Amino acid sequence: MELKRVVVTGVGALTPIGNTAPDFWAGLLEGRSGAAPITFFDTEKFKTTFACEVKGFEPADFIDRKEARRMDRCTQLGIVAADEAIADARLDMESLNADRVGVIWGSGIGGLDTFLHECIDFGRGDGTPRFSPFFIPKMIADITGGQISMKYGMRGMNFTTVSACASSTNALIDALMYLRLGKADVIISGGSEAAVSEGGIGGFNAMHALSTRNDDPQTASRPFDKDRDGFVLGEGAACLVLEELEHAKARGAKIYAEFVGGGLSADAYHLTAPHPEGLGAKNVMLNMLSDAGMQPEEVDYVNVHGTSTPLGDVAELKAIQLVFGEHAYRMNISSTKSMTGHLLGAAGAAEALVAVFAVKHDIIPPTINHFTDDPEIDQKLNMTYGAPQKRTVHAAFSNTFGFGGHNASVLFKKYVE
């Protein structure tokens, strides 16, 4: 069968460096760091005392106060990002076939804070099971997609993908496939995560995964720098309205970019460490290019997973060089996690949005916080250190890799009739 074309017609974001999609993009181009001392809880006894929190966000400004109390912060962030994207796309549900509008969301953990504090409260009691009736609906990872669909009356497919840090990239790829097959006209897709809590910081500290550069949080996320010492935990949400091309054209929608390919693979190697030669990363990028029907030479920019971990950064660049060969030196490469921190399950959607904006605006956002070259990294690669670079971006993609060896990549290009 002939597959349908899919385009991006709306975007939304709520991040540590900007509370709307345009502000997020402006923050990236300014090289703004979202890292700061944690305000959500007392960090005195924690190895890491900073994170990339969303700033100035009051749920009651966007969500009915009573309803907001029934949502974990993960869902609150997701709802607001989806609201922005739906408004940006000018979707009018009264004029659409609601049975053909779906929601496919991603979250690696879901309501971690709700789960943690309900259990703490139970443990402090006398053993009597006094739990909130909203404990389970607030905590489960799928609930954000359900809340979005209920708010707007979207009756198409509705589910949430969970693949650690690749979760929302998986969601975008699933949405691409359903739209290509003609199973929906529009799908709201993205991800949200809110794990800056005692459990999130303490758990990742126990794994020695987080930076402990407490004396200088703003420079702690330093992908590809010789002295990187782990990632910075972030929170946030991002949403893309994905639409079948002819449906978008029929309603006069603006088009940011065409969504042309997605790839999936598994490392099948280690619980948390990447394959040392980047085998899974290589395969996922090859699968993405094959799905898009594109050659490596057609790609101008990659927003890398680039978490600022000693092993992961090197393995990903090895994989890029294996896939792109000499063309790797002509591409721009950057890690926006140097600014946002790691948004976990929301990272894929946020970084896919970066790829979309790079294609739309012909600007590459930088990798900040580079101080010392790593001898294990080929310094001839264009890592876009320090400042944005203007260039024509015909096509851009983003990589996301999750604990468990889950790999996902998505590719966007300029829309041409």
Measured CA to CA, the distance from residue 48 to residue 411 in angstroms comes to 35
CB 400 within 8 A of CB 408: yes
Which residues are 51's β-sheet partners?
Answer: 36
CB 237 within 8 A of CB 13: yes
User: Over the Cα atoms of the chain, what is R_g?
Assistant: 20
CB 397 within 8 A of CB 292: no
Measured CA to CA, the distance from residue 266 to residue 276 in angstroms comes to 13
Reduce the DSSP state of residue 373 to 3 states and report it. strand
- What phi and psi, each to the nearest 5 degrees, are found at residue 396? -145, 150
Counting Cβ atoms within 10 Å, is residue 346 exposed (0-12), middle (13-18) or buried (19+)? buried
Q: What is the DSSP string of 17-49?
A: TBSSHHHHHHHHHHT----EE--SS--TTSS--
Measured CA to CA, the distance from residue 389 to residue 111 in angstroms comes to 38
Place of tokens 């101008």: 300
Say which residues have a Cβ less than 8 Å from residue 151's Cβ, sequence separation at least 6: 79
- What phi and psi, each to the nearest 5 degrees, are found at residue 164? 55, -130
Catalytic residue set = 165, 305, 342
- CA distances for 411 relative to 62, 288, 352, 403, 414, angstroms: 32, 7, 8, 22, 11
Say which residues have a Cβ less than 8 Å from residue 311's Cβ, sequence separation at least 6: 273, 274, 276
Which token pair is 57? 């966000």
